[in-house]
Chains A and B, each alone.
Chain A
Amino acid sequence: MTANSRVGIVIVSHSAEVARGTVDMVRQMVGHEVPVAASGGNPAGGLGTDVASIIAAIKKVWSPKGVAILVDLGGAETNSEMAIEMLPEAWRGKVVICNAPIVEGAVMAATEAAGGGTLEQVRATAEELAPS
């Protein structure tokens, strides 16, 4: 199975270091079997999130199986929703935001993706961690 046949994962944090660090933790679990990209920091390089960078990250890991996004605080979710709406129409329904803690959710999602899980399975696995 090639990486392209697995769900891609995007990590969106207000901090570029948190986003990169989360990718490192994912890689430790699943190596390069799953396409993973980080987007962190605002357009000026400070803390925040950046729609253009989120779109670029989604494109980087794009897979026909879809892309799961993990976010930290509010603005990361709002900007990720905006980014999804700005994607080509055919992609939009295949990119989802997981309601899960960013680090734990990313590791769980990537593990499920590495096993060949569908986008819905990847999201459900990550969201098992969501506080009820």
Chain B
Amino acid sequence: MKLDNETKDRLIAAMAETIASHSGELTDLDRAIGDGDHGSNMKRGFDAVLADRANLSAKPLPDMLKALGTHLVMTIGGASGPLYGTLFMALGKEIPAEPSLADASRAFAAAVNAVKARGKATTGEKTMLEVLQPVADVLQAGASNPAGLGERVKAAADAGLEATKPMKASKGRASFLGERSIGHLDPGARSSQLLTHAVIGVLAAQPALEGARSS
């Protein structure tokens, strides 16, 4: 699948738009169990990405992802900067310029592993990984069965997000709260679920994706 520049531009715009329109909610979630800056930090990061959209979307996919990740690292200013930055930079490093679905799934799984290494975290700790890991798993399983994959990915992201509510945080600032972190959605999981929906929303409207599915 080759993503044309217009599609890459729509991906950037869709991610930035969902973060901007939910930044208040992300900050509220983070105020409950963290330091209350996730929404504003993510918005600052994706605003910087959006401001560079013409330059980014003209790059080949791997370079675009790496540059996007670098913007996030340099502008977010919280732990989410290196974590989301690592996700996109590792994805850019692993993905070919014209990936098949199997290529994309493999690259995404590697990028999620890079986030785990960066955060020294794994699943079950009430973090963004509760969304990213099931998305990676569904993508990998779906490489051989692509029909309706977008819907399954979104459902996996939604279920992963909901699963953070009863969890006790053992990573990040929320872990200071111990038992009191239980009963709140994790803000990083919410931003990951929002970004997943935004990306699937753009890619699902891609006729080219059908070609990738059969290749």
Knowing A42-B41, A79-B81, A81-B118 are in contact, say whether A74-B73 is a contact too (CB < 8 A): no
- Most chain A Cβ neighbours within 10 Å, of B44, B75, B77, B118: B77
State which of B35, B40, B44, B119 has its C-beta within 8 Å of the C-beta of A78. Answer: B119
State which of B37, B41, B75, B172 has its C-beta within 8 Å of the C-beta of A74. Answer: B172
Knowing A79-B79, A79-B82 are in contact, say whether A47-B35 is a contact too (CB < 8 A): yes
Q: Bound state CA distance, A43 and B173, in angstroms?
A: 20
Contacts of B119 in A (CB 8 A): 78
Size range of the interface on B?
20 to 34
Of A27-35, A49-57, A94-102, A118-126, which stretch is located at the interface? A49-57
Knowing A44-B44, A78-B118 are in contact, say whether A51-B81 is a contact too (CB < 8 A): yes
Closest to A48 in B: B77
Q: Which of A16-66 contact B (CB under 8 A)?
A: 42-44, 46-52
Q: Bound state CA distance, A46 and B44, in angstroms?
A: 12
| Nearest CB on A from B171, distance (A) | 8
Contacts of B41 in A (CB 8 A): 42, 48
Contacts of B35 in A (CB 8 A): 47
Knowing A46-B37, A73-B173, A74-B172 are in contact, say whether A52-B78 is a contact too (CB < 8 A): no
Does A75 interact with chain B (Cβ within 8 Å)?
Answer: yes
Does B208 interact with chain A (Cβ within 8 Å)?
Answer: no
Q: Bound state CA distance, A81 and B86, in angstroms?
A: 11
| Nearest CB on A from B106, distance (A) | 23
Contacts of A48 in B (CB 8 A): 37, 41, 77-78
Q: Are A47 and B37 in contact (CB under 8 A)?
A: yes
Does B85 interact with chain A (Cβ within 8 Å)?
Answer: yes
Q: Bound state CA distance, A74 and B118, in angstroms?
A: 12
Q: Are A43 and B44 in contact (CB under 8 A)?
A: yes
Q: Are A82 and B37 in contact (CB under 8 A)?
A: no
| Nearest CB on A from B168, distance (A) | 17
Q: Are B82 and A81 in contact (CB under 8 A)?
A: yes
Q: Are B79 and A78 in contact (CB under 8 A)?
A: yes
Closest to A55 in B: B74
Does B83 interact with chain A (Cβ within 8 Å)?
Answer: yes
Q: Are B79 and A74 in contact (CB under 8 A)?
A: yes
Q: Bound state CA distance, A59 and B53, in angstroms?
A: 30
Q: Which of A85-121 contact B (CB under 8 A)?
A: 86
Closest to B70 in A: A86
> Per-position contact with A for B73-98: 1 when CB-CB < 8 Å, else 0?
11111111111011000000000000
Q: Are A82 and B85 in contact (CB under 8 A)?
A: yes
Q: Bound state CA distance, A38 and B30, in angstroms?
A: 27
Would you mind naming 30 contact pairs between A and B with Cβ atoms under 8 Å apart?
A42-B41, A42-B44, A42-B76, A42-B78, A43-B44, A43-B74, A43-B75, A43-B77, A44-B77, A47-B35, A47-B37, A48-B37, A48-B41, A49-B77, A49-B78, A50-B74, A50-B77, A51-B74, A51-B81, A74-B79, A74-B173, A75-B78, A78-B79, A78-B82, A79-B77, A79-B79, A79-B81, A82-B73, A82-B82, A82-B86
Chain B residues near A (Cβ < 8 Å): 35, 37, 40-41, 44, 73-83, 85-86, 118-119, 172-173
